[in-house]
Structure formats: C-alpha cells, structure tokens
Amino acid sequence: MSPEELRTLDQTDPLRHKREEFLLPEGVIYLDGNSLGALPKAVAARLERTIKEEWGRDLIQSWNRHGWIDLPQRVGARIARLVGAGADEVLVADSTSVNLFKLLLAALRLRPERRVILSEVDNFPTDLYIAEGVRALLGQFELRRVAREELEAALDEDTAVLLLTEVDYRTGYRHDMAHLTRLAHQKGALVLWDLAHSTGAFPVHLGACGVDFAVGCGYKYLNGGPGAPAFLFVARRHQAALKPFLTGWMGHQEPFAFSPLYLPAEGVRRMLVGTPPILSLSALEAALGVFEGVDMELVRQKSLRLTELFMALMEPLEARYGFRLATPRAPERRGSQVAYRHPQGYAIIQALAAQGVVGDFRAPDILRFGFAPLYLRYTEVYEAVERLGQVMEQGLWQDPRYQERAKVT
C-alpha cells in the first residue's frame, strides 16, 4: 500500500477520533502500548479532582461521599464489558501476580481430589513463579509445564486447573480460548486465563467460552498508568463456593462490623484483601472512559489490519537483514502485537527508539511491536518500518551505547 492509500485509511478509520483522547509525545511512534499504555487526557484532570477535592477537602468522608469504597467493583464493571463478563463477575484489585495467586489457590480448593496444575512452559514467568509458589505452599499438587503442542494431550482426569495466558507475551501467539476451555471442562478441570495482552486489544468472551477464572492487567491496553491495579474474574457459578485464602477485612461480609470472625462477602468482592488504592483506581477509571461506546469488534478489525500491514511492510527487511517473524500469520492465532527474532534485537530496539519509534525487546532475541488500535495510525506503521529500514541500512544499531542493557528492557 502506498503512503497516500494509508492516509486515506487513516481518514476513513472509524476509530480515528479516539487518538485525540490521548496525550502522545510529539514525533514519537509508540509501538509499546502492550507494555505501558499511553496516557488518556482525562486522567490528569480526574487525579487532580480526586486529590484536591476528594482527598484534600473531603478527607475521610470521601469513602462514602465519593464512593471510594465501591471503586473496585465499579471499575470492574466497566472492564466486564470488554471481556464479555457480567458486571458482578469482575473486580479490580492488587496486581496481576497477586490476583493469580488468589484465584489459583481458590480454584485448587474446588478440586481437592486432583493433583496437577497444568501450564505452558513458555507462559509468562510470573504465572509460572506464582504457580510454583502455590504448589510449594499447598504441597499436594504438582506443577506440570509442557510445550504448547503437548497441552491437549497433557490434560487429563488429574488436572485440577489449566493455567494459561491467552496471548503469548513474546510471539503474540493467541490460544483458542473456547476450544481449550471446553477440553479442560471435558476432563473436569477448571481454567484460569491470564488476559494481560488481550483486554482492551480485542473482544474477549469469557462468558460465552464458559471460562471459570481470569486475571488481567490495568496498565497495558487499558492505559491505567504504571503499576495500575489489575482485575480478576470469577464466573458467577463459582462465586458462592469460592474460599479466599487471603482473607482480608475488605473481603469480609461487613468490614465495618469489626467482627473477630471472618465471613466472606457476597460475590466477587470476597476476593478483595486490603484497602483499595484510590488514586490508582481513579486513574484507571478515567482511562477506561476512552473505551466508552467503542465497539470492540472494530478495535479487533483495526488491530488485524495494523499488524497485517506491519508484517507486509517488513517482508523485504526480513531476508535483507535477517529478521525472522515469530508471530503467526493466521489472524485468529495472533493478538495485537508482532514479534521478530534477531540476534542483535536489543541494540536494534535501542537504535530505533533513538529514531522515535518505541518498541521493546524480550530476551533472548525478540523485537516486539505492539499495536494499540485506539491511538495508532496506519501511516505511523509505514513510517516505523521506514525508520527501521534506515537503522539497518546505516548500521545505526552498532553504536556501542545501544549495547548496554538498562535495568528495564
């Protein structure tokens, strides 16, 4: 496609007005919204109000007056629409890692006669680390980490919980959630999906897929800001039987009865532990405003076109400079990112960032480009590949300062 054709695509893009709702730095093409979402304009004003009027002026009365106490459920209800869940099935709390811990423990308690937590060896490290910690804590379980191709065969009557991330953080491979959930259920296992690279990038159908539990991230495609609280999903049918392990007072039926005895709250609220982080929750709530009224099917369509375009433009560079595509070409098998392998991946990503194109690097050799459909333009995809071509042609990545690894990659 020519630059003119891409300009026309931008001008007729049904999501084109969404970009104006973000504050994006001048001259930067941001292909890392899958790692830290861009800043929605509404966030600063909302934080200013929450800080000055709510915290500053109304102080502790804000818990009631400004509904602080209900924020975990209120924000959860807004996320629910994006993941195909009921408003009463999603709660915002803690980090993704902590929510994994809480839900995995609670899920295992629903399958005490079984032995195995099944996951993928290439699952995101925190998912595996948390599962290993849970295994060590409970003792009687085994953590089985298998290759993706072996998952289906490994599912059996001994599987208590199937723990998977829908979209692979390195390659962008997307699992068939409906199929794997069905298979797990046929074996009597429960499923826990990590939606870190799904939520906000395309429509997720937790209810239609019959998913039991899920967790997801607030700071990636949901744009909630660095370290934004995460969310968790508990299917309604499991809520009454669910026994939290972290039985904190905010998950109590009546936190302000100050009873010495623990009684779980009704519904998903029992998965709360401590006092919710009001500033972060307010930022996330304001950020979610950009999804208001947005048809997630349109988001998916644009995401597929952006990633398709990127892969097509990259093709000549693959052979010339030794990039190897790591992302599936089949649209139904990929999320909203495209990854390439290259032995000099780290330095190339640094040199490219110096040219105003921000992607990221994942060890050992993955260059990762995320495509957030709400604020990216087709012409930017074109420009990004142009600049990558220059970085390679001029050997800009060979500059020694691009070899030095920073603490965060």
Ligand X SMILES: *Cc1c(COP(=O)(O)O)cnc(C)c1O
Q: Which of 13, 94, 168, 194 is catalytic?
A: 194
Residue 169: CB minimum distance to ligand X, A: 4
What does the per-residue mask of binding to ligand X show for 152-181, with x meaning CB under 6 A?
-------------x---x------------
Between 95 and 344, name the residue whose CB sits nearer to ligand X.
Answer: 95
Q: Which of 174, 368, 377, 387 is catalytic?
A: 368
Q: How many residues form the binding site for ligand X (CB under 6 A)?
A: 13
Between 56 and 227, name the residue whose CB sits nearer to ligand X.
Answer: 227
What does the per-residue mask of binding to ligand X show for 20-49, with x meaning CB under 6 A?
------------------------------
User: Which span sits near ligand X by CB under 6 A: 58-66, 189-197, 263-271, 331-339?
Assistant: 189-197
User: Which span sits near ligand X by CB under 6 A: 1-9, 124-132, 234-242, 351-359?
Assistant: 124-132
Count CB-CB contacts under 10 A for residue 135.
Answer: 17
Is residue 124 part of the annotated active site? The answer reads yes
- Show contacts with ligand X in window 350-369 (CB under 6 A): none
Question: Is 104 a binder of ligand X (CB under 6 A)?
Answer: no
> Residues near 81 by Cβ (< 8 Å), separated by ≥ 6?
87, 291
Tokens of 150: 């072996």
Question: Is 132 a binder of ligand X (CB under 6 A)?
Answer: no
Order of all β-strands in the sheet with 366-370: 324-325, 337-341, 366-370, 360-362
**What distance in Å separates the CA atoms of residue 88 and residue 91, rounded to the nearest whole number?**
8
Q: Are 217 and 96 in contact (CB under 8 A)?
A: yes
Q: Given CA atoms 129, 184, 304, 220 in this order, what sign does their dihedral have?
A: negative
Q: Which of 219, 291, 346, 371 is catalytic?
A: 219
Residue 264: CB minimum distance to ligand X, A: 24
Count CB-CB contacts under 10 A for residue 11.
Answer: 11
**What distance in Å separates the CA atoms of residue 146 and residue 140, rounded to the nearest whole number?**
19
Is residue 368 part of the annotated active site? The answer reads yes
Is residue 220 part of the annotated active site? The answer reads yes
Q: φ, ψ for residue 325 (rounded to 5)? A: -60, 130
**Which of 8, 95, 301, 344 is the binder for ligand X (CB under 6 A)?**
95
Is residue 334 part of the annotated active site? The answer reads no
Tokens of 228: 């934004």
Question: Is 73 a binder of ligand X (CB under 6 A)?
Answer: no
- Show contacts with ligand X in window 201-240 (CB under 6 A): 217, 230
Between 96 and 223, name the residue whose CB sits nearer to ligand X.
Answer: 96
SS3 letters across 226-275 = CCCCCEEEECHHHHCCCCCCCCCHHHECCHHHCCCCCCECCHHHHHCCCC
Q: Are 9 and 301 in contact (CB under 8 A)?
A: no
Between 124 and 397, name the residue whose CB sits nearer to ligand X.
Answer: 124
Q: What does DSSP assign to residue 98?
A: H
**Which of 68, 101, 124, 221 is the binder for ligand X (CB under 6 A)?**
124
Count CB-CB contacts under 10 A for residue 65.
Answer: 11
**Which of 32, 89, 194, 360 is the binder for ligand X (CB under 6 A)?**
194
**Which of 126, 253, 301, 344 is the binder for ligand X (CB under 6 A)?**
126
Residue 95: CB minimum distance to ligand X, A: 4
Between 217 and 311, name the residue whose CB sits nearer to ligand X.
Answer: 217
Question: Is 378 a binder of ligand X (CB under 6 A)?
Answer: no
Tokens of 389: 């071509």
Residue 340: CB minimum distance to ligand X, A: 19
DSSP 302-321: HHHHHHHHHHHHHHHHHHHH
**What distance in Å separates the CA atoms of residue 113 and residue 365, rounded to the nearest whole number?**
41
**What distance in Å separates the CA atoms of residue 193 and residue 388, rounded to the nearest whole number?**
34
Is residue 377 part of the annotated active site? The answer reads no
Q: What does DSSP assign to residue 327?
A: S
Please identify every residue annotated as catalytic: 124, 194, 219-220, 368
Query: Applying CB under 6 A, which residues contact ligand X?
Result: 95-97, 124, 126-127, 165, 169, 194, 196-197, 217, 230
